Structure 1
Amino acid sequence: MKKYLLALCLFLPFVANSTTNCPEAKVQHLQIERDSILVFQEGQNWHLIGPPSDPGVQAMYSALLSAQMAGKKVIIRFPAGYDCKAYNLSVPALMVRTNNF
């Protein structure tokens, strides 16, 4: 029993930190609502960035807006198992990465 518990404790951090990076794509649309910020990327669907009052959401919005204006691609990270092509306004983004190429 102790071996199984030890194995679970060693494996759990990998499961807890699992994420999904949506494919790199240009930002086509940004939508600001009272309680949420949404993004639509090329070849994907509408995604929730998060409520404007949540920590980091304003910074992610700023990065997305800058990338959109510059025509740059971005990668948006969500929790594990997230379907990047599906319409999903219930799961907030974890991270936004911009690229200079």
Structure 2
Amino acid sequence: STENATHNVAQILEEKIGQIKKSVAGQMQQIVAPQVWFGSRTINTLNLMLDLCDTVQQLAQLTAQHTHTNNGSSQPTNSGSISATASKAGDLKAKYSSVIKQ
């Protein structure tokens, strides 16, 4: 159909699809709400953005605070903390990969 369609629902519109729902927009698709959940019943994949921001912030803070004991030729004195925080990226991948189709 080439006509526009609008559905106004006062309270709740719930769709239950047994297998696969595919939504295709020719130019743009918007999902607008005060809060959005996108993922499985237990994992909101949009939290990945917040989790990554936290990890990047922690790495930036650790990097800004680091010092070297031997004029830059040795590892930073807080290299263990940097490595531990960096490993969070792998943890995040493991957490979200089960619900993100690649």
TM-score of the pair, normalised by structure 2: 0.23
* Greater strand proportion: 1
**Which structure would you say has the larger RCO, counting Cα contacts within 8 Å and 6 or more residues apart?**
1
